[in-house]
Amino acid sequence: MTVQELPGAAAYRPTPPPAWKPITDPAPLLPDPEPYRVLGTDAIADVEPELLIRLHAELVRGRRYNTQATALTKQGRLAVYPSSTGQEACEIAAALVLEERDWLFPSYRDTLAAVARGLDPVEALTLLRGDRHTGYDPREHRIAPLCTPLATQLPHAVGLAHAARLKGDDVVALAMVGDGGTSEGDFHEALNFAAVWKAPVVFLVQNNGFAISVPLAKQTAAPSLAHKAVGYGMPGRLVDGNDAAAVHQVLAQAVARARRGEGPTLVEAVTYRMDAHTNADDATRYRVDSEVEAWRAHDPVQLLERELTGRGLLDDAALEEVREAAERMAAALRDRMNADPVLNPMDLFSHVYAEQTEQLREQADRLRAELEAEQDHHDQEGGR
């Protein structure tokens, strides 16, 4: 029996739809076919020399920060460190493109972006040290807590940006995520929410090729991650993630667009993680040395140094000054991280609730009594 032969089928026959037109024209939303570049192209003329010089100084500092933090893991001063060596252009551009009133939503690999935005390097590493809380007040620098679960910071960024827009606050949120995070449901929910409500958010995907050991080809069949933006009704931008000037320019345009009330943008920065996923990872199990070496030839620090040197904006003396400043930062970080923190067991009861519960007060009193008894015993033993 066919559908047409079913009793009452005629009554359920749909009428032909009217001429359909898309809600949003997809053409303007599509990313460029190739990653956008500035260094070595005519677009460099639009970049102020002062910005290039500042980007370079921050890149050199960032590279030294990464190597020092990695060394601290080997010395037992950090429990883990997810290095962003090779991705410094994305980290620095994300930090510098924001105004003071804006918010940065980093992932666990984005401590460098937090430091470049003004966060104390030791506070940025406190979570990775295994110390209490996240180590810093998110409101002081408008940097959300470092997010270890993949992509959960993205809906948070959208919620904050949407709330700011409803209040009339001129605020933009920039949310950072890796290519692995785009495989999470939170990524899709955040993009859909942001696009429907035109929330002032910029999503920066640092596509370093691997979600730990899973290559991009096993995560998506899309032409690029930037193409995913079209499905949500927002522009997608594809940029060379090792070209600091290009990343800064694309992010600046996306931030300005969001601030004008035109909604979110998805930016995919194609980059590469030079180091292993973390100090606990053996990257040789899933990638070959020749691949790493090919990306070393496209190192973000060297790319910008060649541009500045070629244009006469950086000489040996200036380069040495930048490197010495980075060494001073690394030395201060090393000294402070090598100092054992002074811990107070009573801090266990701080910041659990705005007002302590009766049970917590009882537990705190019990611990305080035990500590005092232990100290009395120690004093008596010392007096013998």
CB-facing half-sphere around the CA of 148: CA atoms within 13 A: 8
Helices within the chain (DSSP H only): 49-74, 88-96, 111-116, 121-129, 138-141, 153-167, 185-197, 244-259, 289-296, 300-310, 316-337, 358-383
- CA–centroid distance for 363 within its chain: 38
Burial class (CB in 10 A: 0-12, 13-18, 19+), 132: middle
Number of residues written out for the chain:
384
At CB < 8 A and 24+ separation, what contacts does 308-313 make? 308/52, 308/53, 308/56, 311/49, 313/49, 313/52, 313/53
Residue 50: which residues within 8 A CB-CB, separation 6 or more? none
CA dist., res. 214 & res. 178, Å (int):
12
| 262, 55 Cβ separation under 8 angstroms | no
What is the three-class DSSP state of 323?
Answer: helix
Amino acid making up residue 105: F
Catalytic positions: 273, 277, 286
Q: In 3D, which of 130, 136, 132 has the Cα closest to residue 79? A: 130
CA dist., res. 337 & res. 129, Å (int):
9
| 106, 113 Cβ separation under 8 angstroms | yes
